[in-house]
Amino acid sequence: MSQTAGTATLTPGAPARVTATSGRTAVWRRFRRHPGAIAGAAVLGLITLAVLLAPLSPYDPEASDLSVRFQPPSWQHPMGTDALGRDLMTRVLYGGRVSLTVGVLVVAISLVIGVPIGALAGFYGGRVDSILMRLTDIFLSLPAFLVLILLSAILREVDAPLFERNNVLTIGLVIGVLSWMTFARLVRAAFLTLRETDFVTAARCAGASNRRLIVTHILPNAIGPIIVEATLGLGYAIIEESGLSFLGFGIQPPTPSWGNLLSNAQEYLTKYPWLAIFPGMMIFLTIISANYIGDGLRDAFDPHKVLKKVGEV
Amino acid sequence: MMHSRTLSALSLVCLFALLLASLAGCGQATEAPQAEPTAASPEAEPSAGQPTAAPTVEETAPQSVVIVIPEDPPSFNAIVADTGYDAMVMELTMLGLTDIDPEGNIFPELAAELPTVENGGVALDEEAGTMEVTWKLRQDVQWQDGKAVTADDVVFTWNAISDPATGTWMQGIDYIGGVAKVDDYTFVISYTGIYPGYLTQFGAEQLAIWPAHYCDPAQGFTAWDCARTPLSDGPFSLKEWVVGDHMIFVRNPNYYRPDKPVIDQIIVRIVPDATVRKTMLLQGDADVDVWTTEPIVDDLKDKPDVQVSISPHPRWVLRLFFNLAAKGTVDPVASPHPILADVRVRQAIRMAIDVDTISQQIFYGYGTPVWTELFRPPYACDIARPEYDPDAAAALLESAGWIDQDGNGVRECHGCLNAEEGTPMEMELITYAEFGEPMTLSQQLIAEMLGKIGVKFQLTVVEGSVLWATAADGGIEQTGNFDVDLWDDGYSGTDPTDFLWELYSAAAAEPDYGWNISRWINDDWNALLDQAYTLDEAVRKDVFCQMAAILDDEVPSILLFSVINADAHSTRLEGIQSTTFDMVTWNAEEWSMK
Amino acid sequence: MSVYLIRRLLQTVALLFLLSIVLFALVNVAPGGPLAGHGQSRHVRPERAAILMRQFGLDKPLPVQYVIWLAGNDWMRVDADGDGIADSYGTRKGILRGDFGFSFRTRQPVLAEIGQRLANTIYLMAVTMLVALVIAIPIGIISALRQYSATDIALTTFSFAGQAIPEFWLGLVLLLIFYAWLKNPFTGEPLLPPGGMYTLGAEFALLDRIKHLILPVATGALGWIAWYSRFLRSSMLDVIHQDYLRTARAKGLSERRVVYRHALRNAVIPLVTVLALDLPYLIGGTVFVETIFAWPGMGRLYYQSALQRDYPMLLAILIIGAAAIIISNLLADVAYAYLDPRIRYN
């Protein structure tokens, strides 16, 4: 488990108390003191809950009702209705499922690819590091957004069993495959620093295998920046997906996603602005919450900058 | 820290250099990268016999019309890429032998008159089944540089198009045996068969005549520079073209009509976003918006400064095509589609679609219901409109062996024609993305309507470049990788023969040989099509209407309604008229500003 | 040093080569093709398709196409007229000799069209980055100096918000506000133009250029401002508590001197590093701004070409983008190696 360091607080008359400055409770405590992060967590939690409860809506996100097209927000339709008379709130919530799923998927894929690569490169160094870093460089040399457009055009049409056309899985895969490099670099930097520390040397002397060292000893200490980056990555993934969908390359209708809801709302911006305001607002709230949470986590994990992030002095 | 400081200094220097370079670079951006035609001399003396234009008494500021379009034309040679915007600028600057007016009447442009059998212009050899058309050109048309437009230019154009290496395909090219010059203003086209579309082959929206003395044949018809810096014989000439930004056209003083054009200058601006184009129109920053779509037309209907010109006859019709072969295959006999190979199913589907609702709700009522391919003049056929009767549709499906026995809202095969017992009636309805939201909304509505009678559709939207790619490139239509296909199409000009061949003939069912994506083969229909290659208009109309009747019975496709062909414009602009047979600039020389 | 340089150069060349293969494969593997009729005919006539295949060079197997793209075909005989006999030499020189081919859409040389658009994109991005930095640096400084104060919280919120707003949405909203809704109180005309780089027909006027830049730059810069101000803030915070600043204060230097002379200079360095590495990403990032504001740039060109599968154009843009990234990384590495001997011998 993670080691615990302590600081002693001395107040006259009181017994000396050692408070932990790292370790899970300490991290949580520092996180709690960050008002923005708490608010962000609350908002994101609310959004996730709402999105999960989408099936409870009395409206069908796909069934049209041509008699109530383009209704402004009202009690029956808190977010108004769209071009086919469908309740916008229901579609926004279902769209949230898609967008959040894509976001989580992207982060998951980035982690699954990036963390092992970074860990192995940082731990073994030398030849392994060189090869893995070359691989990372190749991916980093691609103009990301341009290749994203191309990849989504390719994979979207794949008709294999798991990947029906226009599936959430494909878009998540496509974005994820181009976003793991940050994690790889991060983890590598962390491993480079951590593998020289005393506790690792001690564990090695005690006979721990490489695998045990990596997974049980070093990785948990690198978790901090990984979690921070993952939270920020969620926001990034959602923006990428909505950007792709906006251009027509991401999730296609009739499946709603925040991005393609915004894209369809474009032509109605003056006449029926609520069609753009609400999906845009959801994207905004989700990302800003994720950013605040990430910021809070960063401060919580790193009060004294024990582990330096890439790019920092 | 020294190395970091040096690096930072380096980086800042690079950044500044970049900035300076780009600012310097953008100074050049104002210059058109395309040089003006070097031979252009607007001060050239008009040839004798042409009255000089009387200058207007008051010195008014040059009258300008601003047209906004979403993308650059790839060139001035419309037939190469056929985006429509190329035809638009071609109409401003170049002439063809003939053109078509909004009512479908063909009129001569470069030709002195239309050659017909009656006036001896067309010599038919019935026995051999060939014909010869003699064209006489106007003698008063000049290129921008003062040289006359002659038969040499026509022969030159033909040679360039028919060059096997650098040419391209044009309608009826297989029928042309050769183009021969008789004298400076007369030439003869000999045909190896009877080709009814001979009048508009070298004109209308398809083709213009190119200058023999200016274009470089070595560069090839499809790529020559004179298609980017054209030599004009039309009402306007190109003055400046900043790719991606704008084009400026000015009046051509050598134009053969003495008092035309009325407008001095036409500016074409590239504005990709439709909402911005609409706003520019409303603000008065633009005068013409090309190919205005229904939602925007509806938006503009109450505005006092903007009018919408709608063409009297539509071209683009939304249609559903059924795949009569099993999905992913192309042989309807070896592997018939389990659900759609039964004509009763297709008829039932047609009865269950409420075309009026879709047209009125999604297309703001600007679409006209269309139910046969032959609905445009001069071959409008009298086919009865199919009824909208969902109950009858359900009954028909029941009798065809598609019954929902397990009560889940989706029918299954119980005694149906081609499928195994118990096969659910589930299919994929595919459409393409580039049209925009109205298409995808229509797709969703259609799926809903059919869902109500127990036919379940999964919806897919793909890019046009995937839907219509070749079979080798994985094109969905060519490989038959669909069940039902929703898209819009319509033929240009007045002759539907080629269009019908492409979509319904037996030969066209072969992948990459044609576009009969339904794989529908009907021998009677094909025999009739052969008979349509005649110059006898009465026979043609009769044949076409018989073909229309067969299509109506067999339902390989369902036509829904036409989409609008409209161009929004400022009310100050007069003389402008939208047409399906051409782009809105077809009569730009007649435009005037109030 | 020169050994290191040569080694890095060779690696760069190898990387570019490898990338060219990957990108070529990607572009061609994408389903759909350039022969799908665009514009008015939905369908390409099969006779025309055959001619186009030949003219585009798509009738050859992929590896052969790659070689031709790379090295041209003017050294081999091709069948230009479709009669089955390869009796004429090709006309392409290949990218190794600077010939990026011709666009499928316009039949014009790809480089000429890209060149113009690239200049426009660089112009836009340079101004955007400049504006972003000019605004972000003071914000970062103030935020850091007044850490946790109300100002800091407000600025932090602003920067988080700025990173959370989708760029395309912002662009449309700004356009609507400043072009469609708000009017100049004196002239009644719209406040700002709807797009383009300059007013047609006018001479080069700085004010006109600026007016056309305001909305695109505002849309594009917001995200960067937010990001860089945060970055600078954290960088400043790192530096401000350092010992050598304490020394400077102890020596009696004014706080202002401490901040601007010493702290800021060192805080800006990582920012510049990040900036230098961010620059190449701007090539793809302008798609939204260019589409909404009708800016004739490379992002929009790429997007259009992708929709129409204009392979030569796509490949050219991708390769140039990748080359820009790789070369700027190489320059940064070489600069570091020049300054830090340890790296060379790694």
Nearest to B474 among C32, C48, C106 (CB): C32
pLDDT tens, residue by residue, B400-436: 999 998 889 999 999 998 899 999 999 999 999 888 8
DSSP run (H or E) holding B251? strand B246-251
Predicted confidence (pLDDT) at residue B204 exceeds the cutoff of 60: yes
B133 forms beta bridges with B122, B189
Contact in structure between B525 and B547 (CB atoms under 8 Å):
yes
C258 forms beta bridges with none
Distance of CA C187 to the CA centre of its chain: 37
Predicted confidence (pLDDT) at residue A163 exceeds the cutoff of 60: no
pLDDT tens, residue by residue, A240-278: 898 888 888 888 878 888 988 988 887 787 788 888 888
Best mutation target, C27, C28, C45, C271, to test chain B (most B CBs within 10 A)? C45
pLDDT tens, residue by residue, B230-283: 999 999 999 999 888 899 999 999 999 988 899 999 999 998 878 888 888 988
In Å, how far is C288's CA from the nearest CA of chain B?
11
pLDDT for C291 equals 84
Q: Which DSSP state fits A214?
A: I
Selected residues 241-280 of chain A with any CB under 8 Å from a CB in chain C: 242-243, 246-249, 262, 266, 269-270, 276, 280
In Å, how far is A157's CA from the nearest CA of chain C?
7
Angle at CA of residue B175, ends B172 and B179, nearest 5°? 100
pTM over 0.95: no
Query: DSSP secondary structure string, B147-197?
Result: PBP-HHHHHHHHHHHT-TTT----TTGGGEEEEEEEETTEEEEEESS--GG
Residues of B within 8 A of A150 (CB-CB) are none
Closest to C273 in 3D by CA, of B544, A188, A313, B193 = A313
pLDDT for A144 equals 82
Yes or no, beta carbons of A147 and C26 under 8 Å apart = yes
Helix axes C2-29, A144-156, angle to 10 degrees: 30
Predicted confidence (pLDDT) at residue B9 exceeds the cutoff of 70: no
Of the listed ranges A19-28, A75-84, C184-193, C207-216, the least confidently predicted one is A19-28
ipTM of the complex: 0.81
B237 forms beta bridges with B250
Closest to B390 in 3D by CA, of B346, B343, B453 = B453
Selected residues 112-171 of chain A with any CB under 8 Å from a CB in chain C: 134, 137-138, 140-147, 149-151, 153-154, 157
B284 Rama class: left (phi>0) / alpha (psi -120 to 50) / beta: left
- Distance between CA atoms of C125 and C118, rounded to whole angstroms? 10
What letter represents residue B335's amino acid? S
In Å, how far is C290's CA from the nearest CA of chain B?
9
Cα-Cα-Cα-Cα dihedral sign, residues B80, B81, B83, B88: negative
Yes or no, beta carbons of B80 and C102 under 8 Å apart = no
Closest to B484 in 3D by CA, of B451, B449, B514, B458 = B458
Predicted confidence (pLDDT) at residue B337 exceeds the cutoff of 90: yes
DSSP run (H or E) holding C273? helix C264-278
Residues of C within 8 A of B286 (CB-CB) are none
Contact in structure between B589 and B232 (CB atoms under 8 Å):
no
- Distance between CA atoms of C154 and C147, rounded to whole angstroms? 11
Nearest to B279 among C39, C194, C200 (CB): C194
Could you read off the pLDDT tens digit of each residue along chain C, which spans 346 residues? 678 788 888 888 888 898 899 899 988 888 888 887 656 778 888 888 888 888 888 888 999 999 999 988 888 888 877 777 777 788 888 888 888 999 998 888 999 889 888 888 888 988 998 999 899 988 888 888 887 788 888 888 888 888 888 888 888 888 878 877 777 777 767 778 777 777 765 567 788 888 889 999 999 999 889 888 888 887 777 777 776 677 777 777 777 766 676 677 667 767 766 776 676 666 677 888 988 888 888 888 898 888 888 999 999 999 888 888 888 777 777 776 666 665 555 5
Yes or no, beta carbons of B165 and C81 under 8 Å apart = yes
Nearest to A243 among C239, C270, C288 (CB): C288
- Distance between CA atoms of B444 and B541, rounded to whole angstroms? 37
Yes or no, beta carbons of A69 and B361 under 8 Å apart = yes
Rg (C-alpha) for chain C, rounded Å, is 26
The residue of chain C nearest to residue A136, with distances taken between CA atoms, is C15
The residue of chain B nearest to residue A261, with distances taken between CA atoms, is B437
B251 forms beta bridges with B236
Residues of A within 8 A of B440 (CB-CB) are 252-254
pLDDT for C339 equals 64
Query: DSSP secondary structure string, A149-195?
Result: HHHHHHHHT--SSS--TT-HHHHHHHHHHTT-HHHHHHHHHHHHHHT
Yes or no, beta carbons of A84 and B445 under 8 Å apart = yes
The values of phi and psi at residue B276, to 5°, are -65, -40
Predicted confidence (pLDDT) at residue B6 exceeds the cutoff of 60: no
Predicted confidence (pLDDT) at residue A126 exceeds the cutoff of 60: yes
- Kindly list the partner chains of chain C, i.e. chains with 3 or more CB atom pairs below 8 Å: A, B
Count of beta carbons in the 10 Å neighbourhood of residue B9: 11
Contact in structure between A264 and A208 (CB atoms under 8 Å):
no
Q: Please indicate whether residue B173 or residue C156 has the higher confidence score (pLDDT).
A: B173
Give mean pLDDT, residues B171-196: 93
Best mutation target, B292, B460, B473, B476, to test chain A (most A CBs within 10 A)? B460
Of the listed ranges A132-136, B31-35, C221-225, the least confidently predicted one is B31-35
DSSP run (H or E) holding B309? strand B306-310
Residues of A within 8 A of C160 (CB-CB) are 36, 288, 291-292, 295
Residues of A within 8 A of C328 (CB-CB) are none
pLDDT tens, residue by residue, A292-311: 888 888 778 765 543 333 33
